[in-house]
């Protein structure tokens, strides 16, 4: 029988580096925590998704939602 090398301790070595929190989503109804390698930066602000960026722009009248 073959044993999984990861379970046997022979697999890849993983780093225990915990990602650093870089901020929170700027959209007022979200505020999700963002960590290194996540999210988007737009206009100097952090957002967790393109959806939050879009909603924020519509609320600020910087964009028009044509689907409404």
pLDDT tens readout for residues 10-66 = 656 666 788 899 999 999 999 999 999 999 999 999 999 999 999 999 999 999 999
Q: Classify residue 51 by burial, with Cβ atoms within 10 Å: 0-12, 13-18, 19+.
A: exposed
Token representation of residue 66: 């044509």
pTM score over 0.75: no
Report pLDDT for 35.
96
């Amino acid at each position: 029988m073959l044993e999984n090398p990861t379970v046997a301790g022979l697999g890849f070595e993983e780093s225990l580096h915990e990602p650093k929190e870089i901020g929170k989503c700027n959209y007022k109804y979200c505020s999700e925590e963002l960590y290194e390698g996540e999210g988007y930066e737009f206009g100097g602000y952090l957002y967790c998704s393109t959806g939050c960026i879009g909603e924020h722009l519509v609320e600020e009248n910087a964009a028009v939602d044509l689907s409404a």
